[in-house]
Structure 1
Amino acid sequence: MHILLISPYHGGSHQAWAEGYRRYSAHMVELLALPAHFWKWRMHGGAVTLARRWLAAGAGPLPDLLLATDLLDLTTFLALTRQQTADIPAAVYMHENQLTYPLPDDPTTGPMRRQLGERDRHYAFINYASMLAATRVFFNSHYHLTTFFDALTPFLRHYPEYNELDTVELLRGKSEVLPVGIDLRRLGAEPPNLEPAAPPLILWNQRLEYDKNPEQFIRVLNELAAEGIAFRIALCGERFGAPSQAWQEGVTALGARVIYDGYANDETYRRLLWEATLTFSTAHHEYFGISILEAIAAHTLPLLPNRLSYPEIIPPDFHAHCLYRSRDHLMARLRWALSRPAEAGAIARRLAAATAGYDWVALAPTYDQKLVAIVEGARPE
């Protein structure tokens, strides 16, 4: 089967997902992509540019299926290519959505600063219309699917008339959860004779953006340091723009405890993953959690809020070890893990087995089967 995978914002987790599926799928997966810049413009104009490029490429067999990410305006792409794609089914993969993505506390910063912190409903409507145009919709987690549909009815009720409330159940009926595949092979195997260094290493491998609440993360570290608790810290997550002043001041205050500060290349990232004792999250937002699962695969203990997608990606048997209920609970778990790194490591090694189901080796056949079913269901009797 020939799949045209359309990725207008081809970077970060979107790129890793698309290229991972192409690498491990049994099907022919053709990528049609644009660089990961100017996400708003990608949602507006990406469909036009990619449609024109695809049409200009000319002759060749048509794909059996279109697979688009949530940042594509699928309705525009289909309209501009209607002579070629009228009979081709389409699926949308929802990495995120613009209806429930959290807004920053400071209305002058972040993606909606021009609206002074108010959500621009147009981008949410692009997601909604693309889902209507799709044959099938996939969400990366149950948490993501549930929160989107909880917000969709109030969103449509905002409009004055003909607000199409009946489409909510229609969309629910063609939506399902399909987790993100992760290429765990790129993390390598546990290095031989890896000796736990003292003091223990804490890892930050999440995006350094407001939705991950990095200022709270740094405040927690500074509080631990003030208590005299021994630890080192590696700050290696992807960055977009300059960190906040609060983050920079917090990092400076940690001094020599910081052994790495910047976006890590693959080799450095692998080394830090395997060396780390633990990672923790203070995020306001998480639809899935690729970076957390990568850390878990490398035997790093995660300490995560008992909300968002985290209870879903952590097996129930490990909830008591890994999920915290409050800031005080987080501090207690951190003190325990840092004072007993061998015990924390033993739990992390047992937990690591849970990531196998997210490996592309395991998930790609599931993707293949579900996408074949879409194509077969669209064929005329």
Structure 2
Amino acid sequence: MQSEGPRVLLVEPFYGGSHKQLIDLLQQNVPECCACTLPAKKWPWRARTAALHFSQSIPSCSSYRVLFSSSVLNLCELVALRPDLARLKKVLYFHENQLVYPVRRDQERDFQYGYNQVLSCLVSDVVVFNSVFNMDSFLSSISSFMKKIPDHRPRDLDLLIRPKCVVLYYPVQFPDVSRPYRCPSSGDQQEGPHESSSEPGTEQRAVGERDTGAPMKPLHIVWPHRWEHDKNPELFFSTLIKLKEKQVDFHLSVLGETFTEVPEIFSEARRQLDPHVQNWGFLSRDRYLQVLLQADVVVSTARHEFFGVAMLEAVHCGCYPLCPKALVYPEIFPAEYLYSTPEQLCKRLQGLCRRPHLARTHVTKVDTTTFSWTSLKERFVSLLSDECP
């Protein structure tokens, strides 16, 4: 007879952001879960040493049947130190992968992080990626990554790992939002209920009369990403400065979290773009959603993106997306929302700035329900069942 107690052990060395949201969702919605976590601080040290900590802090429990962890954890070390956990069904979830995570110079890439992820895959029973791009980029990079080893290199590791791999999109808890009722030919906004389109996962703005004679409100552009170099703020701000030099009018909201080292471009961009700025910096959740509801266009200039919650949330709130034709974006966004070059991005934004109603009346062709917790819940429940993969 199975002992009473938790059946699923959730282990998260970096309990913050999207990692925390996923653990919380699973703990709230999957029966018989318990979680062991560490605060989201000092990521490199979490990746290096969390396994030893958890080997001492995870209580022994005969009822455990499934172990779920993000790929920050060196799962290989944990199960070696805790043989009682090695017998469990081991599920490894990749929010990102360190084989292609961008660094400024390849010499700066710490081999150990990617190596740990490969080892963790080898001891896992199921390896889950949050996008096809994440999975393919990881598997296709293993061979060249292992060539960094001076000699006696392992071979065909991708062939051992691939059969274990599945793609399960990150489950977003989209807010229940209503767009402001706005007239594209007027600077005024009237708050009111929004009737969503009959197409699932799309948002459409109600359009008022256009013959009011009032001046058109400038296009509101939002950039809702972490203030770090991998999100390529340099491209975003240089594009907006070009628009300013062309005397193209727009409003700007730069949101997202800041960390210890903020790229210098942010202070210089704030100085140059100040007349256009509506919001600048991290906001409360409620205020953040209000800004997304008021914005017209959401832009990504990322050099790194394995999924992209911020872009999908903005689309859910009704923003017109512009994304690089690279990384995960072609997997999620139709071609009309993708740009290939900085020049294309500038041209697209310039056109929308001059005709804001095109963004304001557009029905975005992205079905956000595909990426919702409601749609993905059953797959996660199945993933954390006792059944062997």
Tell me the TM-score range normalised by the shorter chain: 0.7 to 0.9
Counterparts of 1:1-381 in structure 2, within 5 Å, are 2-23=7-28, 25-55=29-59, 60=61, 62-82=63-83, 84-104=84-104, 117-184=107-174, 187-191=175-179, 193-194=181-182, 197=187, 198-314=217-333, 318-320=334-336, 322-347=337-362, 349-352=363-366, 354-372=367-385, 375-377=386-388
Question: What is the Cα deviation at residue 194 of structure 1?
Answer: 5.0
Q: How far apart, in 2, do the equivalents of 1:86 and 1:14 lie?
A: 23
Q: How far apart, in 1, do the equivalents of 2:263 and 2:384 lie?
A: 42
Q: How far apart, in 1, do the equivalents of 2:267 and 2:151 lie?
A: 49
Q: Give the structure with higher Rg (CA).
A: 2
Q: How far apart, in 2, do the equivalents of 1:29 and 1:203 lie?
A: 38
Extract unaligned runs of 5+ from structure 2: 1-5, 188-216
8 Å Cα contact 1:10/1:35 also seen in 2: yes
Structure with greater proportional helix content: 1
Q: How far apart, in 1, do the equivalents of 2:244 and 2:180 lie?
A: 31
Q: How far apart, in 2, do the equivalents of 1:244 and 1:44 lie?
A: 26
8 Å Cα contact 1:203/1:233 also seen in 2: yes
Q: How far apart, in 2, do the equivalents of 1:21 and 1:90 lie?
A: 15
Mean alpha-carbon deviation: is it higher for 171-180 or for 43-52?
43-52
8 Å Cα contact 2:229/2:263 also seen in 1: no
What's the secondary structure of 1:247's corresponding residue? helix
8 Å Cα contact 1:235/1:261 also seen in 2: yes
Question: What is the Cα deviation at residue 132 of structure 1?
Answer: 0.6
What's the secondary structure of 1:302's corresponding residue? strand
Question: What is the Cα deviation at residue 61 of structure 1?
Answer: 5.0
- TM-score, structure 2 normalization: 0.86
After the TM superposition, list the runs of 4 or more consecutive aligned residues in structure 1 that deviate by more than 4 angstroms. Answer: 194-197
Give deviations 1:123-170, integer Å, cap 9, x for gaps: 111111111111110111111111111210112233344432132201
Q: Which amino acid aligns with 1:98?
A: Q
Question: What is the Cα deviation at residue 192 of structure 1?
Answer: 5.1
Aligned residues: 353
Q: How far apart, in 2, do the equivalents of 1:10 and 1:53 lie?
A: 16
- TM-score, structure 1 normalization: 0.87
CA RMSD across the alignment? 1.9
Q: Which amino acid aligns with 2:43?
A: W
Between the aligned residues of both structures, percent identity stands at 29
What's the secondary structure of 1:220's corresponding residue? helix
Q: How far apart, in 1, do the equivalents of 2:37 and 2:75 lie?
A: 14
What's the secondary structure of 1:216's corresponding residue? helix
Q: How far apart, in 2, do the equivalents of 1:177 and 1:328 lie?
A: 33
Q: Which amino acid aligns with 2:224?
A: N
